[in-house]
Structure 1
Amino acid sequence: MRAPVLRDTVPGLPEVPVRFGFAFSADGRWATCLNAAGDRVALERWSLDGAVPARRVVGAADRDSRPLPLNDGRVLVARTAPGGGHGSVVALPDGTRTWPVSAMLAGYLLASPGSPQTVVLVTVEDERHSRIWALSDASLEPVLRIPGVLSGGVWLDEGNLLAFDHAGLEHRADGIVVDLRERTWRRVWSVSDTTTDRIAACSRRARVLAVTTGVPGGQRIGLWSPGGGPVRFPEALNRSGFARTPLTFDESGEHLLVSEVCGATTRLLVHTPAGDRVEPVAGPPGTLWPPASWTGERIHVRFSAPHQPPTLATVHRRARSGWSLARQAPDPMTAWADADLVELPGPDGPIEAIVYGGPRWRECPRVVLALHGGPLAAWRFEFEPLFQHLALAGVAVVAPNYRGSTGYGEQHMRAVVGDWGGPDLADVVHLGRAVAGPRREAGLPGPLLLGGSYGGYLALLAACRSPRTWSGCVALAPFTSPAGLHRDADAPVRDRVARLNGPGDDERRDVLRECAALTAPLLLAHGTRDELIPVAQSRALRKRLLELGRTEGIDFDYLEVDDGHTAVVQAWPSDLRTNLVRFCLAAERIAATGQERR
């Protein structure tokens, strides 16, 4: 990095404990998860019997471990060997029992509700086959090899029948039932030959499955009784214009827990099939993920908010307090910054944004406008380490969900289908100018752009389209045009480009043709092992900037990271994150240096 940038001191960010990979025992008394802090990953077991969940570390793990708690408190862990195509199952906490698995690209465990519990291992052997194994103290026995890829899995009885999501060789998902005793499988439901159909939850007592089926623009939730006729799609359950996901039934099977994405937040709902009623469950704003467990009046689910790294949340459905998070030891060094949900005026209606910096964020010395990837994605009201690092450095962050973002209804989302860099770019430029004008009058620098993946492309377009608005631009793993991405990417990405935009050649939306207008300092970073957007896209932009007479290290910085797409645009390795924050702190001085030089 250049000398002017290095003069800025970037505060260190404390290690962020991130919990993921939650699983619950069949009786709901135990939970497990992985807790990653830096390069260390620990396996945690939670006791859910008491008034407050209690946890303990039961061993070391890696990010690819798939733990499962049993009803007696033991923990089994499925692990794939890095690059080896094989794996193992390990019993914890003693770790004295290991079952090797000869062919295993990926795998996970399922334990039945009956006593004694039946335990199976589901493995993906290759791109064309999955296998189900029966696990006992004595051995790991192969039961059935099935063409296609299996995922999910719910028990239909006490330990013999299982229902799975099944992606056949044509990659369309449907539902199958496996009979372990007979070692057979059969397809049991599919809405049509063109839908993606999945099984989400099962109530054995009520003998009903909650299923989802993909339809244009979203998905529908259905209820189906095996052998009891066609799938029913309750009106109230599917009336909302927001995305809903079935999570779990209560013990009686009379109520279904559902999560609903509403703007940047996620909330819980309870659907009662008898009467087709939907009721909200009180809780703080944040983001929720499956899986969930519902025993008695207590619901357990993974939760995060801007100031709260992901952890286990407990919902007491009928209590007034309603909601509690797993207790953590107080640590004054990790008082994370909070954020607000704010509506900002856009050119075609209000735009919801997540804002770090308090009510006077517009007056902060530096403001970053963060653009999400996708394009059909959104910022969620959850913990973001990069935003925390920027906030710790005194940088305000505005993360808008402009047109094309999910969670705001069909019309908002589909505005950019076939029109990448159209309505979304108009929203971004409008927001940037609205922030930059008053700041310029107050003698403050304009906002900086920051985007990754599609957001990086959008940031580059905005920096070219309205160059005087911005004091800097950070583009992480961007592409330079839809046509260029369609040309260079692998088949799945090319298919997505063709489906959502079409590889048309529009000069006004080609960064390589527009970048002569770029005046703001630029930080461009890309992973050399990017499997989605080839690094050739950023290398082409670097080459074009040099051809235009720009000087690397003064007009722009270029970084290549030895990693893949997700690491650069979501995980943000520590060195990259530090360079990014340092760039944001010094961008206006870099711009002044460049202007003097020119």
Structure 2
Amino acid sequence: MTVCGIEITTTAPFTIAADGSYAARLAGHGDARYPERWTLTGPEPYAVPLPLAQPEEADSEVLPLADGRVLIHRRVAERHAFALLYPTGGAAAGPRTGQLELGSIQPEGEGVRVTLLPPAPDGHGAFALAVGDAGATVWQVAGTPFGPEPVARIPGRCSGGVWLDRTGRLLALDRELHGVVKAVAVDLGRGGEVSPLLQIAEGSADRLLLADPDSGLLLIRSDAPGEQRLGWGVLGSARPVRFPECLRADGATATPFAVQPGQALMPETCGVALRLGDGALALWRPCDRHVFRLGAPVGWLGGTGLWSAQGRLHLPYATAEVPCGILGLTPPVAPPPPVRLEPVPAPAPRPVPLQQAPLR
């Protein structure tokens, strides 16, 4: 498919491990789909197919772990089954795929939707979100001794899922309760204790899109300014959320997918990669007053990428000529001298809610 002269890949989502070591996707077409693992460390990336005797359904989900195994989530009748896949066999035997069954989830009631959450920061555990009319349940589906187990129950319909720390304890979810959507923080270390995270205006819909634990930078979408806008704030800061005018044109459809890590105490200098509504790519920093639009690579996978601490954005792509490729980009201009914000406080057991933001 081509949009505005850019070829957009229509394959299943491409997921990168939290440490950037591996990635995974559901490759193939039609009725011949199979998991595929990418190794991103080393001089060049390479892909390893992980097929089994039967092809996978198109709605199966895959997620890479830091040890190279790939978690797969399958719908089996009314159950949701989970397993770990890994390459095995030698050169003489040919490539083989090993499978370790982890168990399944039997949702309570009808209409419950189960999806994998983003890769856990520790790289070893994996979590899923089950959402029904009665509420939501966070399940740990990998890294437990006895199979999937519930770790948090949250009233209201939840969506999204953003990790707020490097340990995998604090998870942000967008919760709809009494007709209002607000991002909340779920403390998995306290039995799923829920606390407010975004409270921009009383009746506004405030969603958290992305967070960087190093700097505390939060990327937010809210209608508090009177329309859907992209904004940014700092976790634990007393400053309000800001909605830059340069993001206004794309605020309703742009999706941030990567933040430059390693910028401790300087969230305004973090590079942010955006996938725009027309499929294009854009780069932006909170300290910038404009957005840099760039041409997306042909075959860009899932609109995803990984931003290194050195300031280079890595975009995965696959074409007939290059089935496993990574394109490296550097921001067009150097950032201006940073205007230092107040320091981010030491990590607390729970995130401190952001204060209310002015509409102007």
TM-score under structure 2 normalisation? 0.70
**For 1:280 and 1:244, how far apart are their aligned partners in 2?**
12
Residue aligning to 1:78: 73
More strand per residue: 2
TM-superposed CA distance for 1:266, in Å, is: 2.8
* Match of residue 167 from structure 1: 176
**Equivalent position to 2:326, from 300, 314, 318:** 314
Equivalent residue number for residue 414 of structure 1: none
Deviation at 1:242, TM superposition (A): 8.3
Deviations 1:220-249 (A, max 9, x none): 111122231321112333366984322220
Report how far residue 283 of structure 1 moved.
4.1
What is the match of residue 132 of structure 1?
138
**Looking at both structures, which has the greater relative contact order when contacts are Cα pairs under 8 Å and sequence separation is at least 6?**
2
1:19 aligns with 2:27: no
Deviation track 1:85-112 (CA, whole Å, cap 9, x = no partner) reads: x312111122123222121632214432
Which of 260, 279, 291 is the matching residue for 1:266? 279
For the residues of structure 1 that align with 2:259 and 2:42, how far apart are their CA atoms? 21
Q: 2:247 is matched with which residue?
A: 237
Q: Does 1:225 align with 2:229?
A: no
Which deviations, in whole Å up to 9, do the C-alpha atoms of 1:499-527 show, x marking residues without a partner? xxxxxxxxxxxxxxxxxxxxxxxxxxxxx
Q: Which runs of 5+ in 2 are unaligned?
A: 1-8, 87-97, 264-269, 333-360
Aligned mates of 1:150, 1:34 — CA distance in 2: 25
- Confirm or deny that 1:251 pairs with 2:261: yes
Q: Which residue of 2 aligns with 1:56?
A: 48
Matches within 5 A, 1:132-531: 132-134=138-140, 135-139=142-146, 140-157=148-165, 158-168=167-177, 170=179, 172-183=180-191, 184-214=193-223, 219-229=228-238, 230-238=240-248, 243-253=253-263, 254-261=270-277, 265-283=278-296, 289-295=302-308, 296=310, 297-301=312-316, 314-318=326-330
CA contact (8 A) 2:12 2:302 kept: no
The equivalent residue for 2:343 is: none
Does 1:100 find its partner at 2:104?
yes
Instruction: State the SS of the aligned residue for 1:35.
Output: strand
* Residue 313 (structure 1) shift: 6.3
Identity across aligned pairs (percent)?
27
Which of the residues 25, 33, 44 maps onto 2:25? 33
Q: Retained in 2: the 8 A contact 1:128–1:169?
A: no
Checking the alignment, whether the CA contact within 8 Å between 2:246 and 2:289 is kept in structure 1 is yes
TM-aligned CA distance change 1:303 to 1:215, over 3 Å = farther
Given the superposition, is the C-alpha separation of residues 221 and 150 from structure 1 closer, same or farther in structure 2, using an over 3 Å criterion? same
CA gap of 1:169–1:56, structure 2 versus 1, over 3 A, is farther
Matched, 1:120 2:130: no
Aligned length: 293
Q: Which has the greater radius of gyration?
A: 1
Q: How many Å apart are 1:191 and its aligned residue?
A: 3.2
**How many Å separate the matches in 1 of 2:220 and 2:187?**
20
Question: Offset of 1:303 from its aligned partner?
Answer: 8.1
Aligned-partner Cα distance in 2 for 1:234–1:312: 36
Answer yes or no: is the 8 Å Cα contact 2:60–2:74 preserved in 1. yes
TM-score relative to the length of structure 1: 0.44
| Preserved contact between residue 210 and residue 257 of structure 2 (Cα < 8 Å) | yes
Distance in 1, Cα, partners of 2:254 & 2:324: 21
Question: Per the alignment, in what secondary structure is the counterpart of residue 247 of structure 2?
Answer: helix
Structure 1, unpaired ranges of 5+: 1-16, 321-598
Q: In 2 relative to 1, CA 105–154 (structure 1 residues): closer, same or farther, beyond 3 Å? A: closer
Give the AA of the match of 1:132. Answer: V
Provide the C-alpha distance between the structure 2 equivalents of 1:319 and 1:206, rounded to a whole number of angstroms: 19
Mark the CA change 1:272 to 1:160 in structure 2 (over 3 Å): closer, same or farther: same
Change (3 A) 1:91 1:208: same
Quote the residue 2:64 is aligned against.
69
Higher helix proportion: 1
1:162 and 1:179 in contact (8 A); partners too: yes
Alignment check: 8 A CA contact 1:80 1:105 kept: no
CA distance in 1: counterparts of 2:64 and 2:159, whole angstroms: 19
